[in-house]
Amino acid sequence: MINLRTSVSAFTLAATAAVGLAATTLPAFANDKLVELSKSDANWPMTGKNYSAQNYSPAKQITTENVKQLKPAWAFSTGVLHGHEGTPLVIGDKMFVHTPFPNTTFALDLNEPGKIDWQHKPKQAPTARAVACCDVVNRGLAYWPGTGSGDALILKTQLDGHIVALNAETGAEVWKMENSDIKVGSTLTIAPYVVKDVVLVGSSGAELGVRGYVTAYDVKTGAQKWRAYATGPDEDIKLAKDFNGKNPHYGQFGLGTNKTWEGDAWKIGGGTNWGWYAFDPDTNLFYYGSGNPAPWNETMRPGDNKWTMTIWGRDIDTGEAKFGYQKTPHDEWDYAGVNVMMLSEQKDKQGKLRKLLTHPDRNGIVYTLDREDGTLISADKLDDTVNWVKQVDLKTGIPVRDPEFATRMDHKATEICPSAMGYHNQGHDSYDPEKQLFFMGINHICMDWEPFMLPYRAGQFFVGATLWMYPGPKGDRQGFEGLGQIKAYNAISGKYAWEKMERFAVWGGTLATAGDLVFYGTLDGFIKARNSKTGELLWKYRLPSGVIGHPMTYTHDGNQYVAIYYGVGGWAGVGLVFDLTDPTAGLGAVGAFKNLQKYTQMGGGVQVFSLNGKNPYDDVNVGEWVGKGG
Amino acid sequence: MKIAALGRVAVAAAIASAALAVPALAYDGTNCKEPGVCWEPKPGYPAKNEIKGSKYDPKHDPKEINKQSASIQAMEERNKKRADNFAKTGKFEYDVSKIGN
């Protein structure tokens, strides 16, 4: 353990030295400013807090000892219902809050959080709502710190397909571009991501046959820098000359068209990316996953369907892919591979210090890859009840499928685990670098599945499967509860330090702190804190509505705050949100979550906590209106 | 005794090789034609490039499946006008009809 820590420190030192050198020889890129900002406990400037996307804070004012004194400090209603995913950003004295459709943005003054500095309320075509598969959610904002010639910006995506840059001081629109066209079923729910002077934008719509792509825009002008697709010819997919050079058995060139698809099916082949990103300034690669192939009916698209369901390492400047590892060849279960990427530096089983990425996938496997070349390090089951795959062969990278749990036309498959909602979904989890543990919010849902034939019409749903979902073997299948788990996992040993069951799926992700705490929100309306060493439940608070975002923490005026969105929704909440009762409605989610409405209703807002509820209004005169007479 | 035992081994081997001869019984993802190409049809289902004309033919309309690329091309052209105009004038205009050539 001591040795390991020493090595990790050495690694960090080397990285710091490299950054230092770069800083003296090159003009500072904006991303260096973001790296600096993310080092301070006062800021939370991007999804995942920093480029490693660990959702980890070194702040330790709030600890296992005093977490019981955590009380609400202040709250803010967004004025919007529906699912509130993601987490607010905090930079300096400002908190930036986003909402689901119509994607309003608020800037709050942390010295006086009752004051809305500005708000940006876009006008969007209401028809955008009709082509959103899984509630009208949005996963967050991005921040660009500005340069000498450009003001700081807030970047946002809109459901109607626009990427917009706002002046961070005033909220005024600086530029606005069209990324996705709702007329063909293409929407945006993903949070933008800023690296250097570009902003990355993903895509949504595989349930409407949208072929996925990721796009980089010049953050200052909105000009498109590059665009890379998930399927099709190699030049569209943007493969580097040495793509998968280190792991040629993953497949290399010419696989995006008819070698793994029949005919032109790749043109409507899905592979959208609406999850999360991570970035490593040393490799210059950003990491993300492409989603499921379309349609869900597997019989209509023979082949491995590359490069859907793939973990990508792409160069941020050129967009070229250095590696791509397909997790679920020829998907038969909608295991959209877009989940969170968390970076770490750990010693592998041979004692070699490696730069890693860890990724808990929808398919029930948590993958750890060498993030320099894509080499597979470990692939463990999220729960021992995963059954579609016997194991993942680390040498070949191939998942060994169990044909009993495959899906196909003219057949109703039963008892498949995980379900299409996955054993892990969009939640952004956390990693504690001291303990070398990943804290993962897990789903425990299985399913029956029967595909059906359907035509493709641009702008219409293109799913082609009927699903029945229910609690996994460890839940209560009569009472329809016990649909979630939270676990602490070591990616090298593959061991779980602790595992706890939850009433509903832990949909929103987790936050870890140096106070030995792991925070997360639940669908039934609580924020909870567990001891990150033991998993013991130490504290919880009843929020106005269920949670589908992840908690964040920041320090302001010497006080550590924990903030979280409430507002149930998302796929898990579609039954409640749209008043559906047919168990197969909402792509099968309605049945699984039929009891959710007994515990929560819709809502929308931010709730902020601190020790004993300490907050700027402890001085009761703060924020009071004072007339001319005093 | 010895001979009988050998016979049993032979029978077992024959069964094992029979099972190996019909991998389609179990599409398990491990029989690859080339790196990254490991799909196989399930028993009784059409092979690749045989879906067309089978009862599972998706009968994709080329006009429909080309709509996305056309839409993206049009958006990229409009965006380019916006970005170029922004760079030229320093003022952003979203409405391309208000952008002169």
Rounded to whole angstroms, how far apart are CA atoms A311 and A363? Answer: 13
Distance CA(A398)–CA(A473), nearest Å, equals 26
A50-89 residues touching B, CB cutoff 8 A: none
Check B83 against A175: CB less than 8 A apart: yes
Instruction: Write the burial class of residue A396 (CB in 10 Å: 0-12 exposed, 13-18 middle, 19+ buried).
Output: middle
Residue A411 in contact with partner chain B when CB distance is under 8 A? no
Q: Nearest residue on chain A to B58, judged by CA atoms?
A: A300
**Residue of B28, B66, B89 to mutate when probing chain A, most A C-beta within 10 A:** B28
pLDDT at position B3, please?
44
> Phi/psi of residue A602, each to 5°?
-65, 160
Listed residue (A415, A446, A405) closest to A592, CA to CA: A446
**What residues of chain A lie within 8 A of the CB of B64, using their CB?**
456-458
Cα nearest neighbour of A226 on chain B: B76
Chain B residues closer than 8 Å to A222 by CB = 79, 82-83, 86, 92
User: In a mutagenesis test of the A interface, which of B54, B55, B67 is the best target, namely the one with the most A β-carbons within 10 Å?
Assistant: B67
Q: What does each C-alpha distance from A273 to A132, A366, A397, A422, B55 come to in angstroms? A: 14, 18, 22, 16, 32
Dist CA A173 CA A479 (whole Å): 49
What is the spatial distance between Cα A563 and Cα A511, in angstroms, rounded to a whole number?
10
Beta-carbon separation of A409 and B56 below 8 A: yes
How many residues are listed for chain B in this entry?
Answer: 101
What confidence score (pLDDT) does residue A210 get?
98
| B24 shares contact with chain A (CB less than 8 Å) | no
User: From the candidates A334, A380, A432, A524, which is the catalytic residue?
Assistant: A334
Look up residue B11 and give its two tokens. Answer: 């029978």
- Nearest CB neighbour to A262, from listed B51, B65, B87: B51
CB pair distance less than 8 Å for B82 and A175: yes
Q: How confident is the model at residue B48 (pLDDT cuts 50, 70, 90)?
A: confident
Rounded distance between C-alpha atoms, residue A549 and residue A610, angstroms: 19
The CA distance from A333 to A579, in Å, is 25
B16 to chain A nearest CA, in Å? 18
Distance from CA of A264 to the nearest CA of B (A): 8
For residue B25, the model assigns a pLDDT of: 57
| A179, A227, A398: residue with CB nearest B29 | A398
pTM: 0.93
pLDDT band at B80 (very low <50, low <70, confident <90, very high): very high
Closest in A183, A252, A299 to B71, CB measured: A183
Calculate the dihedral angle through the C-alpha atoms of A233, A236, A238, A243, rounding to the nearest 10 degrees.
Answer: -10
Looking at the complex, report in whole angstroms how far the Cα of residue B5 sits from the nearest Cα belonging to chain A.
33
Determine whether the interchain pair B64/A223 forms a contact, defined as Cβ–Cβ distance below 8 Å. no
DSSP for residue A28: P
Contacts of A127 (CB under 8 A, 6+ apart): A182
CB contact under 8 A, A300 and B56: yes
Nearest to B30 among A173, A398, A455 (CB): A398
pLDDT at B64 over 70: yes
pLDDT at B2 over 80: no
pLDDT of residue B100: 81
User: Any idea of the CA torsion for A126, A127, A130, A134, to the nearest 10 degrees?
Assistant: -50
pLDDT at position A628: 81
Question: What pLDDT band is residue B101 in, cutting at 50, 70 and 90?
Answer: low
Cβ atoms within 10 Å, residue A468: 17
Burial environment of residue A14 by CB neighbours within 10 A (0 to 12, 13 to 18, 19 or more): exposed
Predicted complex ipTM: 0.92
- Of all residues in chain B, the one with the smallest CA distance to A150 is B90
Beta strands in A452-516 (DSSP E): 465-471, 484-489, 496-502, 510-513
Sign of CA dihedral A75, A77, A81, A84: negative
Any B CB within 8 A of A332 CB = no
Judge: A304–B86 Cβ closer than 8 Å, yes or no.
no
Residue A588: CB atoms within 10 A of its CB come to 26
Q: How many whole angstroms separate alpha carbon A212 and alpha carbon A204?
A: 7
CA–CA separation, A576 and A374 (whole Å) = 41
Q: CB–CB of A465/A474 below 8 Å?
A: no
Whole-angstrom distance, CA of residue A533 vs CA of residue A491: 16
| Shortest Cα distance, chain B CAs vs residue A385, angstroms | 18
Q: What length does chain A have?
A: 630
Contact A249 B45 (CB under 8 A): no
B31 in contact with chain A, both atoms CB, cutoff 8 A: no
Q: Which amino acid is at A277?
A: Y
Q: What's residue A627's pLDDT?
A: 86
Give backbone dihedrals phi and psi of A546, rounded to 5 degrees, phi first. -65, 160
Tell me whether residues B92 and A408 touch, CB distance under 8 A.
no
* Chain A residues touching B54 at Cβ < 8 A: none
**Cα–Cα distance for residue pair A419/A362, rounded to 1 Å:** 9
| Residue reference for tokens 């571009």 | A177
Residue spans of chain A under pLDDT 50? 1-28, 30
Residue A334 is a catalytic residue: yes
